[in-house]
């Protein structure tokens, strides 16, 4: 790789020192499943840049929101580990007094309302905002009030007129979904109560880099935040980080708590200070270039392994019609010639095809009846849960291929 590259603008801190770290070619939109094959899914460049000033990692090329969400299939899965995460998150917010029974809670990117349903009993009111109309409908149908809209200054202003100020605004895994990273914060400024908290949960760049998770790179993820970069962004809007926790969810995430900078000095929790200190040791030039090299190694390795297994006549399915799985398959050059089906529990995904690779999505029930020899775990963030479920439902010998942090194999139901 040419490491004497030109410098680009960091869209978070606005310096002109960002450098490209990984070019993954050109791929289709990862959440846009297709109805028929052969499909001519449109592809868009996929590469990332790193900023040495604020430790931000960002996509070099951003697709418009209109294109990204016109045909959207992400539905929060029913998952025991997700429920467990919600309960840890609630405890963190309650114990540190960011949330109580009087809190009016607003969730940005609330999807089908899973989190709000979980939090409902512990707060005064819940309200969701989500741009995907089909998904907001699902939430409203289950009794979680959800506005189908993008969250920005103008939608927040009109929402504020209707429902009044909100005491806690939470954005889980959607803060990085906007090319203009300040747009959501501008909305928060319009509707957050004076002493309210803004809570952001996002995949953590430290984990992405340390665990070689290049599949987290897709067009929806326009930023790979560190706490440094989040802090740099929020300061532009007179917000400051006060606390953070980390979690294993989605391959390693942070939950950051921010509040308005008032006259008083802002106090950072010990955990936040420790995490900020550690980031400097991971997200430096050597760290991000190491990530790039290791990612290229996994891409080559996985292509070779799957091609070899398939040439032996073994049947391979991928498990999880995930957005990150689509990056993985397309970047590794894998398709329906090597991988027969993709298993996924989400009703609305079944019967459709993965973009680019053209692999058909089937139900878990079909897969228990017709098990393959190998699974490529494209929902590796739920691997424990998925492997447990499969072995409870099927006695067929099968090998799970886990791509991260390096390619490894988990054999189940083999007697010898
Ligand atoms: P997720 O990891 O949230 O994906 P993304 O990369 O798109 O953010 O999605 C997990 C997918 O895995 C989801 O489509 C549902 C599927 N899944 C199963 O099929 N079975 C399971 O037991 C679990 C937990 C998830
Ligand atoms: Zn920057």
The per-residue pLDDT for range 196-212, each reduced to its tens digit, is: 999 999 999 999 999 99
> Tokens 């005064």 label which residue?
124
- Angle subtended at Cα 165 by Cα 159 and Cα 171, rounded to the nearest 5 degrees: 75
List the beta bridge partners of residue 104.
125
Count of H helices and E strands in the chain? 13, 17
Long-range contacts of the stretch 42-45 (C-beta < 8 A, 24+):
43/356, 44/219
Work out the average pLDDT over 113-123: 97
| Separation of CA 392 and ligand 1 centre (Å) | 18
**pLDDT confidence band for 79 (50 / 70 / 90):** confident
Separation of alpha carbons 304 and 325, rounded Å: 17
| Separation of CA 79 and ligand 1 centre (Å) | 8
The per-residue pLDDT for range 337-359, each reduced to its tens digit, is: 999 999 999 999 999 999 999 99
The per-residue pLDDT for range 206-233, each reduced to its tens digit, is: 999 999 999 999 999 999 999 999 999 9
| Separation of CA 65 and ligand 1 centre (Å) | 22
Look at residue 171 and give its three-state secondary structure.
strand
Closest C-alpha to 288, from 32, 61, 53, 49: 49
> Tokens 């590259």 label which residue?
5
Work out the average pLDDT over 245-261: 96
Above 50 in pLDDT, residue 1? no
323 lines ligand 1 (CB under 6 A): yes
Closest C-alpha to 192, from 230, 165, 213: 165
**pLDDT confidence band for 101 (50 / 70 / 90):** very high
> Tokens 């032996």 label which residue?
312
354 lines ligand 1 (CB under 6 A): no
Instruction: State both tokens at 174.
Output: 């959607």
């Amino acid at each position: 790789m040419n490491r004497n590259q030109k410098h680009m603008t960091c869209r978070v801190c606005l310096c002109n020192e960002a450098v490209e770290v990984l070019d993954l070619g050109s791929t289709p939109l990862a959440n846009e499943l297709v109805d028929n094959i052969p499909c001519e899914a449109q592809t868009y460049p996929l590469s990332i840049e790193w900023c040495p000033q604020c430790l931000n990692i960002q996509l070099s090329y951003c697709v418009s929101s209109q294109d990204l969400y016109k045909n959207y299939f992400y539905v929060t899965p029913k998952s025991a580990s997700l429920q467990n995460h919600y309960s840890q998150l609630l405890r963190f917010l309650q114990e540190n007094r960011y949330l109580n029974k009087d809190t009016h809670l607003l969730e940005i990117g609330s999807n089908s309302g899973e989190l709000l349903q979980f939090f409902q009993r512990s707060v005064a009111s819940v309200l969701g905002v989500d741009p995907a109309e089909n998904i907001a409908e699902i939430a409203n149908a289950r009794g979680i009030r959800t506005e189908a809209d993008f969250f920005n200054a103008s939608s927040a202003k009109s929402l504020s007129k209707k429902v009044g100020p909100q005491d806690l605004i939470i954005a889980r895994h959607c803060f990085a979904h906007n090319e203009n990273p300040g747009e959501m914060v501008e909305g928060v400024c319009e509707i957050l109560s004076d002493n309210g908290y803004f809570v952001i949960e996002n995949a953590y760049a430290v984990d992405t880099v340390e665990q070689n998770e290049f599949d987290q790179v897709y067009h929806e993820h326009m930023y790979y935040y560190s706490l440094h970069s989040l802090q740099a962004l929020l300061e532009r809007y007179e917000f400051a980080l006060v606390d953070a926790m980390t979690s294993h969810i989605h391959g390693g995430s942070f939950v950051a708590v921010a509040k308005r900078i008032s006259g008083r000095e802002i106090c950072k929790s010990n955990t936040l200070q420790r995490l900020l200190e550690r980031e400097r040791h991971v997200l430096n030039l050597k760290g991000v270039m190491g990530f790039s090299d290791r990612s290229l190694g996994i891409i080559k390795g996985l292509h070779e392994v799957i091609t070899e297994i398939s040439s032996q006549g073994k049947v391979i399915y991928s498990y999880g019609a995930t957005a990150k799985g689509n990056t993985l398959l397309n970047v590794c050059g894998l398709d329906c010639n090597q991988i027969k089906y993709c298993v996924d529990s989400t009703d609305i995904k079944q019967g459709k095809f993965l973009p680019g690779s053209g692999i058909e999505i089937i139900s878990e029930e079909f897969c228990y009846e017709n098990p393959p020899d190998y699974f490529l775990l494209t929902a590796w963030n739920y691997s424990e849960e998925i492997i447990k479920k499969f072995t409870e439902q099927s006695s067929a010998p099968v090998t799970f291929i886990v791509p991260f942090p390096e390619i490894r194999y988990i054999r189940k139901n083999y007697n010898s």
